[in-house]
Structure 1
Amino acid sequence: MTYLFIFYLFLFLIFYVYIGYFILILVLGFFYNRKVKKEKNYPNICFMIAAYNEEKTIEEKLKNTLCLDYPKDKLKIVVVSDASSDQTDLIVKKYFSDNVQLIRIEGRVGKTQARNEAVKMVDEEIIVFSDATTIYHKNALTYLVQNFSDPEVGMVTGHLIYTEDANSSMSVGQSAFWQYESLIKKAQTKLGTLTGSVGCITAFRRKLYTELPAHIIEDFTGPLCIIQKGYRVVYEDKALCFEKPTKRSRNEFSMRVRVIRGGMTGLFFAREVLNPLQYPMVSFQLISHKILRWLSPLIFAFVFIFSNFLYLIQVESLLVSLCVWLEYTFLFLVFLGFLCEKKSIKINGISFFYYFFVLNLAASKAMIDQLYKTLPANWETDR
């Protein structure tokens, strides 16, 4: 019976991490809705585009940014080039007459440190962080900044949509994952504050910026620092941006390992927010949505081991038998997903299971690397 209890415990944790927490915050958000005061206003904005060797995308990004529906006299566009060695800087210089500026950071210091240095060089009230590969809807900035009419709001993040790639088996899983994450962000905003941001569409008050160590990812740690200063981080679902999905599982795997490790390192940096007495709702969200999610590969492993052990010793439990059957069905679907990627075949359902497996495999690798390897400050793009 002890083994059966342990099995049920780990099975409940899996349910809670991926389904239970989601349902819980939706219900809580229904009863407790902390609204954001929104008014249309046009503060001075510094639109900061991080770039490293983005010659293939930077011109399209600049054209998109220049066409945004925002007063031109209140929008400064700055490209922060992290020692790009291709034609990125030359392309940016073509747009100097359109109120575009280039800040070149020498030494290949990484995105976080490049942003640290660039923020010191601007004086606009609001800074927007974006990436060279992200295309904004024309009204995205207007919807983002209207949230700053609320004096309690320190950071706003928008809604990322992946444009589906007909030839990519990763695109379906990526899109489904972000739709799920966006619903969670919406519910978290109702409860008070987000615990993370979408790095390619994030706006914040410049006075609240915290300079972070170069190896820490700003997308996760930046919002936690805003929370520590007593401000809210909110989600604006009308501020839309678009990106192409990752084409290959190995690229998605590497990116997820880096993001998870950055999250782990960042949470240690801002560990004060885990204090349930000082930050009850934030600590609850971090444990439920981040820490347990990072640990889910271990939980899955325990469920697999205990369910198969109980099945082999013939413990009478319909749930155990069902779990074993589902486990091997899942592994079979993952294998099919792997074959589909190799053959460039996209089958939506199978692709989703394969993507879910890649996410958890990345979390496993991240935990191992975190114990033995130093997190690098920079990385190569896969474009």
Structure 2
Amino acid sequence: MSRQVFWFSLVMIVYPYFGYPLVLYLFGKLKAVKTSQGMPAGDFTPAVTLLIPAHNEEGTIESKIRNSLSLEYPREKLQIVVVSDGSTDATNAIVRKYRDDGVTFIGLERRRGKAQALNTGLAAATGDIVVFTDASILLEPDSMRCIVKRFREEEIGCVSGSDRILDGGGEGMYGRYELFLRNLESEIHSIVGASGSFYAQRRRICTPFLEGMAPDFLSALTTVEKGYRAVTESTATGHMASAKEARDEFRRKERTILRGMTTLYHKRNLLNPSRYGIFSISLWSHKVSRWLVPFFMILLFASNAFLLEERFYGATFIAQCIFYLAACGSFLGTGMSRSPLSKIPYYFCLSNVAILFATMKYATGIRQEIWSPTKR
């Protein structure tokens, strides 16, 4: 029995991270969708609203506004809206300085959460395309043209940009892995989630954001539900710093997963393969199976402990112990933390512990209603 549990657990751990990308790659060879990804942006410049929600972002908001004003996009077609969600620092005063430059400022007197901030911004939006972006990410000059060019295709309803983590260690590697997956998903049908810090959606298919749910995930799911495709555009890039503290990154992961679970339950009809085909399989593989990984990690370790009399399983048990020791070493800042290889087990373990905590909160009815930007 222990052998069966061991091998089943191993398969369930490997599949979402290695098996699923392989399935996407092979399926893409058989049925790839022709796209304009990577093609020159050209002269396609629809009216765009750049929507920036902010809460106590005095350290980043000015550079974000300057970055937005410097984008290579016709100024008369670019509306910049900053919604301050009950900020108590200098955020509001900084944004007001740029009103004469055409920046629309909306200040909410009390903190109401990211969903309400986005809904307030949407109500003021005038562009055909709404680009959602965080204050912490700085966009490349041509990123606006690159992300909106995909909307030439009528079937495209949502486009994710590429957020690059600077000096991110495990976080940066994970980000690159997610971008790789999105590219594969885009070639077949749709991505299952957009970049939370930089993505765009047709305004006519935007629906009100709901508190306690992940806006980027909800936008992608709503897009597919309405009969459009959600894709990624690798040339639309932005750069952001990695989280300053492990505690901040853990909280961000836990919050993201909890809100993702809440969102997927709200849109659980999309998990039906008979109605949504390959997209449903992607949801099961990219999201649900990954959320199950920490439980299979526990089963793998426990079942392995009952098989130590056999040489092969003794070696796998030692390998697991080394993996977890490397993660602990990176967390504690020992000599192992200087090795790039130790950052992989560290971030993998951090992510899966965050999944465990998020699952416990979800199961006990705890929801994340108020949004706190990660310190970067």
* TM-score normalised according to structure 1 size: 0.93
Correspondence 1:355 to 2:352:
no
2:331 counterpart of 1:338: yes
| Aligned residue number for residue 286 of structure 1 | 283
Q: Establish whether residue 121 from structure 1 lines up as the match of residue 118 from structure 2.
A: no
Match of 1:46 in 2: 49
Contact 1:157/1:202, CA 8 A, preserved across alignment: yes
Q: 1:378 aligns with which of 358, 370, 373?
A: 370
Structure 2 segments unaligned to the other structure (5+ residues): none
The equivalent of 2:92 in structure 1 is 89
Gap change, CA 1:376 and 1:11, over 3 Å in 2: closer
Q: C-alpha separation between the residues in 2 aligned to 1:344 and 1:100?
A: 47
**2:322 alignment partner in structure 1:** 329
Query: Deviation per CA, 1:84-141, whole angstroms, max 9, x where unpaired?
Result: 1111111111111111110122331111121112212222101000011110000000
* Equivalent of residue 64 in structure 1, options 62, 67, 72: 67
Residues 109 and 214 of structure 1 are in contact (CA less than 8 Å); yes or no, is this contact kept in structure 2?
A: no
Per-residue CA distance 1:50-69 (angstroms, 9 max, x = gap): 10011111000011111110
Q: Percent identical across equivalent pairs?
A: 32
The CA deviation at 1:353 is 1.6
Residue 127 of structure 1: SS of its match in structure 2?
strand
Equivalence for 1:6: 5
* Match in the other structure for 2:232: 235
2:61 touches 2:135 (CA, 8 Å); kept in 1?
A: yes
Secondary structure, counterpart of 1:328 in structure 2: helix
Match of 1:30 in 2: 29
Q: In structure 2, which of residues 137, 149, 157 is the aligned counterpart of residue 146 of structure 1?
A: 149
Give the Cα–Cα distance (whole angstroms) in 1 for the partners of residues 14 and 373 of structure 2. 35
Give unpaired runs (5+ residues) of structure 1. Answer: 165-170
* Aligned match for 1:100, one of 88, 103, 108: 103
Deviations 1:192-234 (A, max 9, x none): 1111000111111001011132111101111101110000001
**Equivalent position to 2:58, from 47, 55, 59:** 55
Residue of structure 2 in register with 1:176 after alignment = 173
Match of 1:276 among 254, 262, 273: 273
Name the amino acid aligned to 2:372: E
SS for the counterpart of 1:310 is coil
Instruction: State the shift of 1:30 in Å.
Output: 2.5
Match for 1:159: what amino acid? S
Shift of 1:373: 4.1
Q: Quote the RMSD (CA, aligned, Å).
A: 1.6
Q: Using a 3 Å threshold, how does the CA distance of structure 1 residues 15 and 80 change in structure 2: closer, same or farther? A: same
Output the amino acid matched with 1:257: E
**Which amino acid letter does the alignment assign opposite residue 286 of structure 1?**
L
Amino acid at match of 2:351: L
Q: What's the CA shift string for 1:240-261, capped at 9, x where partnerless?
A: 1000001211111111000000
Determine helix, strand or coil for the equivalent of 2:195. coil
CA distance in 1, matches of 2:368, 2:333: 33
